[in-house]
Amino acid sequence: MTCDSLRKLIPLYYYGELTPEEEDLLEEHLHECAACERERERLRLLAAALDRRQQEIPPLLLEDCRDGLMAAIAGGITHPAAKPAKGPWKLFLEAMGATLSGFQRYRQPVGALALIAIGFFAARFTGTNPNAATSQPASPAGEVFATVRNVEPDSAGRVRIAFDETRRRVVSGNMEDQNIQKLLLAAAHEENPAVRVESVGLLRSRADSGEVRDALLNAVAHDPNAGVRLKALEGLKPLTGDAEVRNALAKVLLVDDNPAVRMQVVDLLVARRDDSVVGVLQNLVQKENNSGVRLKCEKALKDMNASIGTF
């Protein structure tokens, strides 16, 4: 077979969808044909770039979808066009729009998110689960807007979270409490970096929950404070085998402006070897301007018996 016809098989090879015979044929050829091997490398880079394009589910959208669905079913509304008036996602978008028209800074929408998230959870707090956490008397019906002021663990392994709505509230509970977890998740977006560091630090130990994992990923990808990002990375350590986590980390590696963060990400990625890491690291080596990070990458590639540059 010619190079041309064999080369066409490479994408299917990448996806493990060739017949065993085709696979043997191609592998043999890749071994001795530098041009086709180079094509394989390109496709690997393309695949890595496609991985980075994967959309994250916006915060609260899942919650909003679930609520909308259950409301539609409970209300006997079986036509999908009928939606509940305004879910948290809608409110979030509106708040984002309002905030963004006034400010152009990166941090502002993150702050706005916390406002809405807390408002939403606080409203549910007293309504659905009165025993889960102790708090002031029930809030008036309707939308409540609040801001997290402080998050602190105590010696008994519990957590105290203070947040303002019309007045400040203090809620205590342990980390198993779902309401506490929700408040912490929201606090991870709070504008005050000290609150974020403390919240992300506490959430670290709960990375096995999908929601917490998403919050940690969000912090790693979007938090403007490198200290918060590093804390969140620590929490992702046990999850380096998760394909989504790996994809997100690979993306962070290429865009994060802090070398300490990039170093930590390299460590997490190479903890578990897979082929896409090689592509990501090779890509990084080409662009990396910090010599410490570059050395780390080169060493990791050497350890994996991969070449340092492909083009």
Partner 1 sequence: MAQGAAGAAGARLSPQVDALIRAAQRGDQDAFEQLVRAYDQSVLRLAMNLLRSPEDARDVYQEAFLRVYRNLHAFRFDCSFHTWLYRIVTNICLDQLRKRKVRKEEPAVVETSDGPIDRMESFEEDAAEADPERSMWNRQLKQRIEGALEDLTPRERMVFELRHYQGLRLRNIGEMLGTSEEAAKNCLFRATQKMRSVLGDFV
Binding site for Zn ion (CB under 5 A): 3, 33, 36
Nearer to partner 1, 5 or 155 (CB): 5
In the complex, least distance from residue 112 CB atom to Zn ion, rounded to whole angstroms: 54
- Are the beta carbons of 232 and 216 closer than 8 angstroms? yes
Q: Are strands 168-174 and 158-164 parallel, antiparallel or unpaired?
A: antiparallel
Q: Which does 3 bind (CB under 5 to 8 A by kind): Zn ion, partner 1, none?
A: Zn ion
**DSSP label at residue 169:** E
Minimum distance, C-beta of residue 208 to partner 1, in the bound complex (Å): 13
Of 32 and 176, CB closest to Zn ion: 32
Residue nearer to partner 1 on the CB measure, 179 or 247: 247
Nearer CB in complex with partner 1: 112/133? 112
Neighbour-count burial of 308, counting CB atoms closer than 10 A to its CB (0-12 exposed, 13-18 middle, 19+ buried): middle
Phi first, then psi: give them for residue 88, nearest 5 degrees: -60, -35
What is the closest distance, in whole angstroms, from the C-beta atom of residue 118 to Zn ion in the complex? 59
Residue 83 interacting partner from partner 1, Zn ion, none (CB closer than 5 to 8 Å by kind): partner 1
CB of 304 to Zn ion, least distance (A): 24
Task: Identify what 33 binds: Zn ion, partner 1, none; CB under 5 to 8 Å per kind.
Answer: Zn ion
173: which DSSP letter? E
- Separation of alpha carbons 105 and 42, rounded Å: 36
DSSP conformation class of 192? S
Contacts of 245 (CB under 8 A, 6+ apart): 213, 217, 236, 239
CA angle in degrees (0–180, nearest 5) for 7-8-14:
85
- Residue 289 in contact with residue 256, Cβ under 8 Å? no
Task: Tell the smallest beta-carbon distance from residue 101 to partner 1 (Å).
Answer: 10
Closer CB to Zn ion, residue 40 or residue 52?
40
| Residues near partner 1 (CB under 8 A) | 8, 11-12, 14-15, 17, 42-43, 45-47, 49-51, 53-58, 61-62, 64-66, 68-70, 72-73, 78, 80, 83, 89, 93, 96-97, 100, 106, 109, 210, 221-222, 224, 243-244, 247, 254-257, 276, 287, 289
CB atoms within 10 A of CB 255: 9
Spatial separation of the C-alpha atoms in residues 5 and 253, rounded to whole Å = 35
**Minimum distance from residue 273 beta carbon to partner 1 (Å):** 14
